Every structure is written in C-alpha cells, then in structure tokens.
Chains A and B, each alone.
Chain A
C-alpha cells in the first residue's frame, strides 16, 4: 500500500471512530478495532442514511467530492481510502 493511501486510511479510521462515538448515534457500536478491512455496513450495521452522512463528513475532512456511484463497490475503510486518494490525485 502506498504511503498516502495508508495515511488516508489512518485518518478515516479516526473519523469513523469519532462518528461512531458521537452522541447522535448511540445505537452504533464499534465491534473491535477499526482496521482497513472494517466493513461499514456489516461491522457497524450503519444504515444507508448513516453511510451517506459519514461520506459527507469525509468529503469535508479531506476537501474532496465523492461520486455517489463509486459507493456501490465501496464496503471497507480501505475502499474509502482509495476513493479519497483518487479524488485528491485529481
């Protein structure tokens, strides 16, 4: 994995942890450590609204725009890091 994707992934892990801990979503519980292979839907049972809300937070944190179409094949933290990296690469 290249260094930038690794750094992005680390930051996404922190953002995800912060999102899960936010008082807005007490029903979401982290199941173990967040890794690159953590699946947003199956590991945290995030519903579609929560996934979209988290995407918006990522967009703002990295100052990128995520095409909704790219989300259909995006399941893990690593997948997200790849998408963010792609947009940052322009």
Chain B
C-alpha cells in the first residue's frame, strides 16, 4: 500500500458524512455577528455548538485588552518561552490562575491540547501507571500514550471500576495517577469527584482533573466541578483551556505541588511550542476577571441550559443524564442523525454532530453548547427547530 493510499478511507468517511449536503466537520461561518450568531451559507445562524459558555468572545473589556496588547506588545512572541524569554504577562497569568484555584503554582500552554499533552508527558514516565476514564478527551489519551506509562482505563464515571483497578495495582496504586474530567463534553455529565477523590486518598494516588468545559461554569467562583463538589483541595493537578469560557485560545495546568514549576523543564510540548500571542494572554487575563467579578453570567448560562434541557425533554427527546451547559440529544443511527443535523443547519441552528466511533457509545448524538449570551428567544428557536424535525427520527423508527 502506498503512503497516500490510506487517505482513501478518510475520503470515504468524508463522503459518508456529506451525504446530507454538508460535512459536519467542515462548516464555514462566513461572518461572526456575535457570540451566538453567525452567517452560514448566507443565512443568519444561531451558534449552539461553539463552547462559548460565557459569551465573552465579544466582551468589550476582553476585546479592548487584546487590542491594547497588540498595540503595546506586538502581534506575536515569535518563539518558545524557554528559547526566546517570557513576556511578563505570561508569567502574571500563571500566577493569576494559581491564585484563582487557590494553589501555589501554574503553567500556561499555547493550547488546551498542549496543556494536557505537556502535563502528562512530563508527569508520567514509562513504568508508571495511569488510570484513565474511558470517555476522557483525546488529548488526555494522547498525553498518557506519549508518556509511555502503563495505561489502564476504567469505565466512564464508574467508581467501582476505578477501585477495582486500584486494588489490582497493589503497591503501584500509591504512585499512580488518576485522570478524569470535570464535565464531559459530549454527554454533559459530571464526574463523581467526591467518590474519586476519596479513592485517591484511600490508595494514596494522585488525581488530575481536566476542567476544560467546567471552568467558569461550575462552582461559586467558577473554578469548575471540583469546586462545585467541594474537593478542590484533594485535586493534585487541574488542567484546562482558555478556548471555551475564557473565549480565547491556550491552556494551563495549576497545582499545589511545587514540582509543577519544574515540569516546564521536562515538557516537550511546552519547550518546543511558540508561546501565546500577547493579545491572547491579555484577553484571557480580562476574561478571568469577568469570571470572578460577574457571577450573573453563570446564572444566565444555567437558566438557558435548564430551559434548553427541559425544552428538549418536553418534546420527548432523550437527553444526557443531567442539566448542564452541554445538552446532548440522542438520535440513534448515523443514518437518522445526518439528515437531522443537516436540516437543523438549514433552519439556521448550528450544532455538533457526534457519530460513532467519536460518540461515547454506539449511538449518534447532536450536541448543543449553551451560552450566557444566548437570548431567551434564541433558546426557544433552538427548541422549536429540534421539535420541527422530530418526525425524521420517528420515521427512522
């Protein structure tokens, strides 16, 4: 088989996905009008699949901070921090994040993917053991695999399955790392962190929680699911991203362990990546201030999330297990899901289509992410659009 022949299977996948008229993985937004509205194929489209949970991408203070940073510091850093030096704002943001999580130490990465990769490859060595939730994000899988550690999966959010593996590890459990997410991004379900933290304490393991989708959303201060469940002091490493609630791009790891400050010397995804541009760091700094100072954003977000979740349930759709800013609707087979997603787009609602093997089970789902910036009318329009297409699923049986 030639080097390029493997792309035939990718071509086949693309053709399968495009049968309804659009490739769900390649939607182009011709114009972005607001955090919740864009123009797709000339149509005004409600954006219900962009993870813009707090709607801060157009926040005037965040935009002004980014603009000022460009004017005062330039458009880019032109290299990695270890080779080119750190801008003071990068170091300041690391401290702000550490303070926000009430831990002593922080590191900023250029993307959320790099944060997970960079943290895990430096934390774990070949011969170490990591226990990974089966539904963890690809970046967590990739980081574990790149580290060379022994990777054992436990069933998603299944505390019994986790404990069984800790028991089987025997003495190795004392040095193993448990990896979980706060809020899972496809089904919108939270990890049982109270129980997981209790197991971590019982067996002497370390715990890493990815709060990518829960930062700014859960907890009284917006720190995430660990804060909401009251177990922040039992988490060893928090990782997360700037590209969702904080409306920019980048990632971080914060920890109460002083060794985090040394992690940067061992983390190739940190060492060999150009650092974030000043505008990104500046808008993230401002967005973090908004998270801390405007709890009303979370209130609006949760009101919208609750309405969307209830609205779908009233229409008879099967949704994820709990109300969250990620609302997944189960559609069954891919053959039913594709036309449903396409017609939603044609009705002016952009969502995310998840089909196997990218979905967490054998079913297809449409995933909506709710924003504090969605108006009540937009939320109703999303519900109405789903309702108008319900017959497509019934016809499918």
Contacts and interface: CB of A to CB of B under 8 A. Distances in A.
A69 B356 contact: no
A68 B134 contact: no
A68 B150 CA distance: 7
Interface residues of B, number: 17
A48 to B, nearest CB: 5
Classify chain A's interface size: 10 to 19
Contact of B150 (A24, A25, A48, A69): A69
A56 B155 contact: yes
A67 to B, nearest CB: 5
B356 A47 contact: yes
A45 to B, nearest CB: 11
B63 interface: no
Given A25-B362, A52-B134, A56-B134, A67 B152 contact: yes
Nearest to A90: B170
Nearest to B165: A65
Contact of A69 (B134, B145, B165): B145
Contacts of A47: 356-357
B145 A49 contact: no
Contact of B152 (A48, A49, A52, A66): A66
A89 to B, nearest CB: 14
Contacts of A25: 362
Given A65-B168, A69-B145, A56 B153 contact: yes
Contacts of B153: 52, 55-56, 68
B120 to A, nearest CB: 13
A41 B359 CA distance: 19
Given A65-B168, A67-B150, A49 B356 contact: yes
Interface in B354-368: 356-357, 359, 361-362
A24 B151 contact: no
A47 B360 CA distance: 12
Contacts of B155: 56
A49 B151 contact: no
A75 to B, nearest CB: 16
19 contacts: A25-B362, A47-B356, A48-B357, A49-B357, A49-B359, A49-B362, A50-B362, A52-B134, A52-B153, A56-B134, A65-B165, A65-B168, A65-B169, A66-B152, A67-B151, A67-B152, A69-B145, A69-B148, A69-B150
Interface of A: 24-25, 47-50, 52, 55-56, 63-69
